[in-house]
């Protein structure tokens, strides 16, 4: 017996996940079974056998179109997959079996589940814990399909060290692991992390996330490592953001410096070659700023003196203006008094003479009554009592009205002269006040321009000095200090992550040893395979090149993970794998034969207590090695040409999946 696999004792008797039986049903009521496929732990070969007769030709002799890929899709469907390729197959199967579906007996971590999934989109899937299909279809088992899906998640996802991936926070799902366990033939086995073609996996980062997921499943990424990876990722993100902020601050500093310099050059219409700082060779922006500030101070001093002189000249004009206003008011009252005599209006006469007296003598406060003249009882009584002057004036007016009219006319002329002189004085005062305002505006404008110039130069000078001295702005200094701190923290976390990865070196070494053992069995002493855990493209490598070996690298990796799941408790792999026609992915016949023999030998070496701790299902159009062409390994033979030898025992229209 071969001894290349050191598996004297395995911690598991059965795979954590394996399918015991698959039923293709024409209907569930009444129960009509089209085909029953018995599977077992270990190697299971589905052989699409080519006819031995030479009469067959074309597709009939190629082993295609008999249902190999359809079988793989049905296995995926029973395990919860809802991919578009499965929906397409269901539509074809539904046309042939309107009441049909597929059922499976599935073992999940020692619990036996029966699952039924209809072809029709409007029918309901069912599942329950038990042994008999009839009991499931009769509704007599405990559980439903959602409970079965939850059991898969609980067994293979919830028990992972982390249920999301560092870096992307990608939530892990059972469908991610199922895609790895049942590989899609359309990918041509062209990469270890390439599991699906067209159906999609939902990974946010198609290149980074699958390797992290595989590491998590293989036990190379525990909770502490996951935490450190997330901390490193977070620290790197913070550092990148800070570096971008630093770049923005540096650009802003340079831009602000250039902007301030352009302002000064535009202010003085200076050429770009004029130096900024003062030199012994000639003028500079600095000297022009100093000259402009000094000139502004001188101009403001002159303007302030002119303003003071104008205000001094304004004072007598204002005094004279007030006197003219009083004179004009008096003349106006005199004319109105003469007019009231002429009109024999005693009330107006009394009021006007009183106002005239106030203008001439009684303006202000009454010192006898300690009140304003407008509230003095004596004055009020005098105004309301006909006075002797009124009687005398009235008699005179009645005696000589022509003379009184002449007096009114003379008073009017006098009033007009006083008003004209007042207007002239107002214009002089307004002109002088406007002159003062203009001077004040010029002073304010000069001060504002001087302050602006001082501000621009005050901002520019320290920036130039700091740049010349190799110093940064306060904001830049703080940002650089923070950058240094974050860099130190990131390096510390990376160091901790390296140390944590070293803890897993024993686990990685175990996978490396197993990979070398399987590769040696496949390729002989000259062949050499290795496990490269840090690779995100080819984690499993073969030492020689060639396209066939590229396919073999994928098979080597899956076989290593499959057998490791049976040996190592650290692995979270279900110990279940399905390959759809890997031989057709340009793999040589000899290597394919050796690969199948390796899988069979591994099952023999691990066989104990009547069971094998892994299940490997492979479909093939190539004949298996003669030693494997027995019912122990070949669980289903399919033949083209005769409908009873097709998967569904009839050809689905328009075309059956391979």
| Domain boundaries defined on the chain | 17-222+504-645, 230-268+472-498, 285-468
- 208: three-class secondary structure by DSSP: coil
Residue 164 has pLDDT above 90, yes or no: no
Q: How many C-beta atoms surround the C-beta of residue 623 within 10 A?
A: 15
pLDDT band at 371 (very low <50, low <70, confident <90, very high): low
**Among 2, 8, 3, residue whose Cα is nearest residue 608:** 8
pLDDT in tens, 71-110: 999 999 999 999 999 999 999 999 999 999 999 999 999 9
Mean pLDDT across the stretch 343-361?
Answer: 65
Distance CA 129, CA 142 (A): 6
Q: Which of 528, 532, 554 is nearest to 543 (CA)?
A: 528
The enclosing H or E element of 531 equals strand 529-531
Residue 557 has pLDDT above 90, yes or no: yes
Dump strand ranges (E) for 333-399: 365-366, 371-372
What the block records as the tokens of 575 is 């110990």
Q: Assess whether the previous peptide bond of 22 is cis (omega < 30° from 0).
A: no
H or E element, residue 535: none
**Residues 79, 106 contacting (CB under 8 angstroms):** yes
What pLDDT, on the 0 to 100 scale, is given for residue 367?
A: 44
Distances 307 to 260, 437, 561, 572 between C-alpha atoms, Å: 34, 9, 97, 94
Q: How confident is the model at residue 333 (pLDDT cuts 50, 70, 90)?
A: confident
- 22 band by pLDDT with thresholds 50, 70 and 90: very high
The widest CA-to-CA distance across the chain, in whole angstroms, is: 165
Residue keyed to tokens 């007042």: 422
- 66, 60 contact by CB (below 8 A): no
Q: 349: pLDDT confidence band, cut at 50, 70 and 90?
A: low
Q: What pLDDT, on a 0 to 100 scale, did the predictor assign at position 17?
A: 98
How much is the average pLDDT of 558-586? 92
Average pLDDT over residues 8-15: 81
Does residue 121 surpass a pLDDT of 80? Answer: yes
Structure tokens given for 4: 């290349």
Mean pLDDT of 392-420: 72
Least confident of 113-117, 147-151, 221-225: 221-225
pTM: 0.65
b/e per residue, 191-210, with b = 16+ CB within 10 A? ebbbbbeebebebeeeebbb
What CATH class has 17-222+504-645?
A: alpha beta
Peptide bond into 274 cis (omega under 30): no
Asked whether the beta carbons of 656 and 66 are under 8 A apart, the reply is: yes
Q: How far apart are CA 66 and CA 543, in angstroms?
A: 36
**What's the pLDDT score for residue 359?**
54
In the prediction, which pLDDT does 88 show?
A: 93
pLDDT at residue 396 tops 90 = no
Range among 124-128, 168-172, 250-254, 315-319 with highest mean pLDDT value:
124-128
Strand ranges, E, within 154-258: none
- Which of 15-24, 378-387, 600-609 has the highest mean predicted lDDT (pLDDT)? 15-24
pLDDT of residue 388: 44
If one counts every other C-beta atom within 10 angstroms of the C-beta of residue 33, the result is 13
Among 381-395, 489-503, 544-558, the range scoring the smallest mean pLDDT is: 381-395
- pLDDT tens digits, one per residue of 271-316: 878 887 777 777 888 888 888 889 989 998 999 999 999 888 888 8
Mean pLDDT of the chain: 83
Backbone torsion region of residue 77, taken as left when φ is above 0, otherwise alpha when ψ lies between -120 and 50, otherwise beta: alpha
Q: pLDDT value at position 415?
A: 78
- The pLDDT score that the predictor gives to residue 62 is 53
Cβ–Cβ < 8 Å for 515, 540: yes
pLDDT value of residue 503: 62
More confident residue, 466 or 185: 185
- Per residue in 620-651, pLDDT tens? 999 999 999 999 999 999 998 788 999 999 98
pLDDT, residue 386, reads 42
Residue 387: what pLDDT? Answer: 45
| CA dihedral of residues 484, 486, 487, 489 (deg, nearest 10) | 120
Question: Which DSSP category does 23 fall into?
Answer: E
pLDDT band at 383 (very low <50, low <70, confident <90, very high): very low
Residue 153 vs residue 548, higher pLDDT: 153
Place of tokens 């770049």: 247
d(CA 274, CA 285): 7
* pLDDT at residue number 407: 73
Binned at pLDDT 50, 70 and 90, residue 234 comes out as confident
| pLDDT, tens only, 588-607 | 888 899 999 999 999 999 98
Residue 586 has pLDDT above 80, yes or no: no
pLDDT at 366: 47
Continuous H helices in 362-473? 377-384, 388-399, 401-468
């Amino acid at each position: 017996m071969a001894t290349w696999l050191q598996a004297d004792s395995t911690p598991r008797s059965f795979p954590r996940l394996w399918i015991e039986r698959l039923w293709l049903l024409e209907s569930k009521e009444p129960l009509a079974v089209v085909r029953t496929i018995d599977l077992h732990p270990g190697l299971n070969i589905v052989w699409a056998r080519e006819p031995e007769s030479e009469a067959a030709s074309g597709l009939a002799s190629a082993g295609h179109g008999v249902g190999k890929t359809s079988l793989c899709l049905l296995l995926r469907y029973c395990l919860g997959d809802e991919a578009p390729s499965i929906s397409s197959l269901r539509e074809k199967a539904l046309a042939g079996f309107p009441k049909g579906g597929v059922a499976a007996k599935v073992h999940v971590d020692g619990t036996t589940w029966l699952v039924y999934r209809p072809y029709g989109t409007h029918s309901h899937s069912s599942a329950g814990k038990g042994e008999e299909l009839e009991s499931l279809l009769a509704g007599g088992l405990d559980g439903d399909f959602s409970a079965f899906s939850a059991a898969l998640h609980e067994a293979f996802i919830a028990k992972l060290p982390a249920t999301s991936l560092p870096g992307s926070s990608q939530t892990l799902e059972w469908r991610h692991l199922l895609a790895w366990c049942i590989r899609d033939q359309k990918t041509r086995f062209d990469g270890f992390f390439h599991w699906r073609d067209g159906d999609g996996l939902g990974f946010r980062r198609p290149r980074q996330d699958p390797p992290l997921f595989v590491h998590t499943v293989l036990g190379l990424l525990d909770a502490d490592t996951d935490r450190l990876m997330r901390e490193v990722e977070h620290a790197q993100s913070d550092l990148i953001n800070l570096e971008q902020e630093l770049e923005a601050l540096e650009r802003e500093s340079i831009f602000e410096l250039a902007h301030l310099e352009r302002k000064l050059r535009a202010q003085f219409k200076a050429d770009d070659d004029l130096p900024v700082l003062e030199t012994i060779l000639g003028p500079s922006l600095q000297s022009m700023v100093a000259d402009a500030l000094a000139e502004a101070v001188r101009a403001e001093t002159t303007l302030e003196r002119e303003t003071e002189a104008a205000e001094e000249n304004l004072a007598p004009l204002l005094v004279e203006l007030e006197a003219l206003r009083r004179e004009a008011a008096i003349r106006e009252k005199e004319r109105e008094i003469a007019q009231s005599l002429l009109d024999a209006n005693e009330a107006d006469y009394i009021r006007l003479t009183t106002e005239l007296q106030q203008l001439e003598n009684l303006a202000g406060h009454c010192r006898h009554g300690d009140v304003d003249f407008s509230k003095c009882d004596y004055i009020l009584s005098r105004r309301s009592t006909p006075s002797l002057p009124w009687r005398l004036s009235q008699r005179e007016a009645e005696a000589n009205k022509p003379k009184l009219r002449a007096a009114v006319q003379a008073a009017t002329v006098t009033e007009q002269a006083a008003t004209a002189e007042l207007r002239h004085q107002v214009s002089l005062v307004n002109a002088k006040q406007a002159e003062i305002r203009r001077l004040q505006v010029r002073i304010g404008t000069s001060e504002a321009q001087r302050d602006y110039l001082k501000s621009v130069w005050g901002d520019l000078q320290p920036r130039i000095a700091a740049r010349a001295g190799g110093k940064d702005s306060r904001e830049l200094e703080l940002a650089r200090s923070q950058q240094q701190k974050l860099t130190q923290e990131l390096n510390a976390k990376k160091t901790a992550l390296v140390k944590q990865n070293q803890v897993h070196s024993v686990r990685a070494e175990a996978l490396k040893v197993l990979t070398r053992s399987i590769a040696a069995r496949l390729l002989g002493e000259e062949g050499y395979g290795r496990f490269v855990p840090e690779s995100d493209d080819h984690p499993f490598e073969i030492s020689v090149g060639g396209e066939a070996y590229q396919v073999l690298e994928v098979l080597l990796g899956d076989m290593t993970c499959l057998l490791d799941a049976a040996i190592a408790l650290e692995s979270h792999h279900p110990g279940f794998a399905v390959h759809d026609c890997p031989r057709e992915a340009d793999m040589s016949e000899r290597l394919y034969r050796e690969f199948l023999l390796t899988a069979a030998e591994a099952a023999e070496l691990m066989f104990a207590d009547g069971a094998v701790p892994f299940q490997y299902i492979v479909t093939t159009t190539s004949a298996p090695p003669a030693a494997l062409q027995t019912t122990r390994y070949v669980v289903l033979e399919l033949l083209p040409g005769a409908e009873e030898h097709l998967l569904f025992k009839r050809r689905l229209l328009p075309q059956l999946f391979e």
